[in-house]
Amino acid sequence: MVVYFRGMDFEETTNLMQAMMHSGELLTLPDIKVPKIDKHSTGGVGDKVSLVLAPLLAACGVCVPMISGRGLGHTGGTLDKLESIPGFRTDLTIEQFKRQLKEIGVAMIGQTAEIAPADKKMYALRDVTATVDSIPLICASIMSKKLAEDLDGLVLDVKFGSGAFMRDYMKAKLLARTMVQIGKRSKVKTVAVLTDMDSPLGICVGNSLEVMESVESLKGNGPDDLMEVTFALAEQMLKLGGMKGGRDMLAQKIASGEALAKFRQVVEYQGGDVRVIEDYKYLPLAKKKYGVPALRNGYIHAIDNYAIGMLLAGIGGGRLKKEDGIDPGCGFKIYKKVGDRVARGEPLAEVFVDRAHRIDTLRDTLRGAFSIESRPRRRKKMVREIID
């Protein structure tokens, strides 16, 4: 609580991070001879970047040992998304994880009990004492897990805006800078990319829907905002790994089908039903859908992205408490972003839900997340700044 109110200086934050990191095992990956680079996002709404990025980078020859989290509150989690693929397992042992990395260059698993166990306990404590929102505690928490992965490089996607942990840009920037400095102090090349979270990322929000959108992205049909963020992060990962080719190589790995083939391998290795890649009927998806039309003409000035994330959790697609289960099949498609023009009657969004919900209230709440005004508003750039 004192740290929450008084903060910590850089030295103190680094010391806490190291103590947390050494509370468990440090992963060693001596058999991997290519650069080992991971990406971590501070979390947001519709953020399915990892599902596209990890196989894409592995297709470029980078090893991606990805240890991800679950969704909580308004933010979604990579593990929940992957687990909407029937059979997909994220609870591999460290030995299985290492073998998969050696054989196919990418694995996507959950936090294990061996890595930074102090973080799990402290996070649970912060959760119930409302002390999560503290820059030094977030830095120590994230970096203690990432720096235990035996990485050569780490790219951080630090989000700001209405759907981010740190809504305020300057706070997000301070978080990014502190994490980059901590990474450097530990001799892991670290770069942070500050990206916009004022609108959901991509069109789909909800676990199965986001898997579909990720597969479409790997097939070359990704929405612009999602691909902009994915390519910006992927480029930084290639750079950290000392690999040439940049954006051209990334685009080529998608066009050639190699990135999709790598995703298929991940699904196969981790026990998932690979048929979902060709036919989305194998994913659990709500049968009923409802449109949410705009009630006036104008331009989208703001989206309460936090409200959209919480609404998803409210219909069962996310967690309000850590121990909650989730319904992978419900979600939203969000058709309008900040800066877009909209005509009365045009769909702002679509709701996918089967369980008995008051659909009119749901519709009104979702519609209420969009602020529409008559004067135009410019669309924002997705990538605001890169801190290295």
Nearer to ligand URA, 23 or 371 (CB): 23
Q: Rule CB under 6 A: choose which of 41, 84, 100, 141 binds ligand URA.
A: 141
Which residue in the list 141, 144, 162, 199 is annotated as catalytic?
Answer: 141
Among 17, 64, 142, 292, binds ligand URA (CB under 6 A): 142
Pick 142 or 238: Cβ nearer ligand URA: 142
Distance CA 387, CA 265 (A): 33
In the set 38, 47, 80, 119, the catalytic residue is: 119
Is 144 in the active site? no
Residue 358 annotated in active site: no
Query: In angstroms, what is the minimal distance from the CB of 138 to ligand URA?
Result: 4
Residue 366: CA count within 13 A, CB half-sphere: 31
In the bound state with ligand URA, the residue whose beta carbon lies nearer, of 132 and 383, is 132
Task: Assess whether 40 carries a catalytic annotation.
Answer: yes
Give the Cα separation of 270 and 288 in Å (integer). Answer: 30
Nearer CB in complex with ligand URA: 107/138 = 138
Based on CB atoms, which residue is closest to ligand URA, 172 or 250? 172
Nearest to 232 by CA among 56, 379, 70, 105: 56
Residue 156, interface with ligand URA (CB under 6 A)? no
Query: Which of 39, 40, 98, 363 is flagged as catalytic?
Result: 40
> Is 14:178 a contact under the CB 8 Å cutoff?
no
Stretch that binds ligand URA, among 48-56, 133-141, 304-312, 355-363 (CB under 6 A): 133-141
Known catalytic membership, residue 256: no
What number of other Cβ atoms are within 10 A of residue 21's Cβ?
21
DSSP helix/strand/coil, 240: helix
**CA distances from residue 63 to 6, 33, 52, 175 in whole angstroms, order as listed:** 39, 9, 14, 26
What is the crossing angle of helices 135-146 and 10-21, to 10°? 40
Residues binding ligand URA: number (CB under 6 A): 6
How many Cβ atoms sit within 10 Å of the Cβ of residue 186? 17
> What is the β-pairing status of strands 331-334 and 204-205?
antiparallel
Q: Name the catalytic one among 145, 146, 262, 333.
A: 145
Chain position whose Cβ is nearest to ligand URA: 141
User: Applying CB under 6 A, which part among 2-10, 138-146, 233-241, 330-338 lies near ligand URA?
Assistant: 138-146
- Based on the number of CB atoms within 10 Å of its own CB, is 384 exposed (0-12), middle (13-18) or buried (19 or more)? middle
Which are the contacts of 77, defined by CB distance < 8 A and separation ≥ 6?
Answer: 43, 68, 69, 70, 71
CB 116: neighbour CB atoms within 10 A? Answer: 29
- Residue 151 or 349: the one with the smaller Cβ distance to ligand URA is 151
What is the spatial distance between Cα 339 and Cα 298, in angstroms, rounded to a whole number? Answer: 10
Closest among 371, 302, 347, 341 to 163, alpha carbons compared: 302
The residue from 52, 59, 109, 138 that contacts ligand URA (CB under 6 A) is: 138
Tell me which residues touch ligand URA (CB under 6 A): 123, 132, 137-138, 141-142
Q: Which residues are catalytic?
A: 40, 119, 126, 141, 145
